[in-house]
Amino acid sequence: MRETFSSRLKLSAEQTEVKKKCCRFTDSAFTSPGAVLSKKQDSYDTISAIWEKCRCDGCRQVFFRRMFIIFGSVTDPMKSYHLDFAFSTAKEAELMAELLSENGFGFSISERSGRHIVYVKNSGAIEDFLVFIGAQPAAFEVMNSKIVHEIRNDTNRQVNCDTANIGKQLEAARTYIDAIRYLLDTGKLDSLPEDLRITAKLRIENEQLSLTELGRMMNPEVSKSGVRHRLKRILAAAQNAAAKEGK
Ligand SMILES: [Zn+2]
């Protein structure tokens, strides 16, 4: 069988040491050969009988842990958040939801292909339940997955943002270069003021350079915004020229 988050959790839950005598009694009630405890048949009587005999908080912890081992499953928190118990009858599901609620856990009930499911999809509730049954390492994995998801979301947002900015920059650079080419081809660049002619020449001769780098090549040096301002004037001149040409 392929090892899943759920099967790993059950395996370690199964090995949890139970110390107190009353709690050990509760534990053995689940494992005794005569106990009717199965997803496939009505186990209502056995479940309620064992619950009735719980004496302490430790017994209740054992009860929910054993219930999870037999009837429960949980999805890998790196993929999604879902923890449930599956029963063959509606009254078992109702009893389980009620017992969970008495212990502070709000689970929902649904029916899926003839099975009665008591489930929760909230990562915080899953974490709390896992702590409650003594499965701290698994609870930690849920907590950790939330951190990983958050970092991943932030990183995606950052990458998308950077890509959009680079795209915009490239598009702008392309527009200016097209404008300069147009002015060159139509012989109109020569009629522009000297500062714009120098800027245009440097721009098309150094397509790969940033505005800051272009500014440094000028004498005297021009700031990034100064270069951008000149490029905008060049673009405006090209647009004017094109408008006059009727293009
Ligand atoms: Zn006990």
Q: Tell me how far the alpha carbon of residue 31 lies from the centroid of ligand 1, in angstroms.
A: 16
Res. 247: pLDDT tops 50: no
Cα(46) to centroid of ligand 1, in Å?
18
CA of 30 to the centre of ligand 1 (A): 14
CA of 93 to the centre of ligand 1 (A): 24
Residue ranges of the domains in the chain?
A: 5-142, 152-245
Q: How far is the CA of 29 from the centre of ligand 1 (A)?
A: 12
Whether residue 51 has pLDDT greater than 90? yes
Q: From CA 84, how far away is CA 67, in angstroms rounded?
A: 11
Q: What is the pLDDT of residues 75-117, one digit of tens each?
A: 999 899 999 999 999 999 999 999 999 999 999 999 988 999 9
Tell me the average pLDDT across 148-162: 76
pLDDT tens column, 14-26: 988 999 999 999 9
118-140: pLDDT as tens digits: 999 999 999 999 999 999 888 88
Kindly report the number of other CB atoms within 10 A of residue 115's CB atom. Answer: 15
Predicted local confidence at residue 1, as pLDDT? 55
pTM: 0.64
Of residues 247 and 26, more confidently modeled: 26
Peptide bond preceding 220 in cis form (omega within 30 of 0) = yes
What separation in Å is there between the alpha carbon of 100 and the centre of ligand 1? 18
Q: Which residues contact 28 (CB under 8 A, 6 or more apart)?
A: none
For residue 22 the two structure tokens come to 């009353």
Cα of 56 from ligand 1 centre, angstroms: 4
Distance 19 CA to ligand 1 centre (A): 9
Please state, in angstroms and rounded to a whole number, the distance separating the CA atoms of residues 82 and 76. 8
Compute the residue count for the chain. Answer: 247
Distance 9 CA to ligand 1 centre (A): 22
Q: What is the Å distance from ligand 1's center to 137 Cα?
A: 23
Distance 45 CA to ligand 1 centre (A): 20
C-beta separation of 39 from 96 below 8 A: no
Q: Please check whether residue 72 is in contact with residue 107, taking contact to mean a CB–CB distance below 8 angstroms.
A: no
- CATH code reported for the domain at 5-142: 3.10.28.10
Q: What is the mean pLDDT of the chain?
A: 89
Query: How much distance in Å is there from the Cα of 57 to the middle of ligand 1?
Result: 6
- 159-206 tens-digit pLDDT: 777 777 777 777 777 778 888 988 888 888 999 999 999 999 999 888
CA of 27 to the centre of ligand 1 (A): 9
| Residues 108, 120: Cα–Cα separation, whole Å | 6
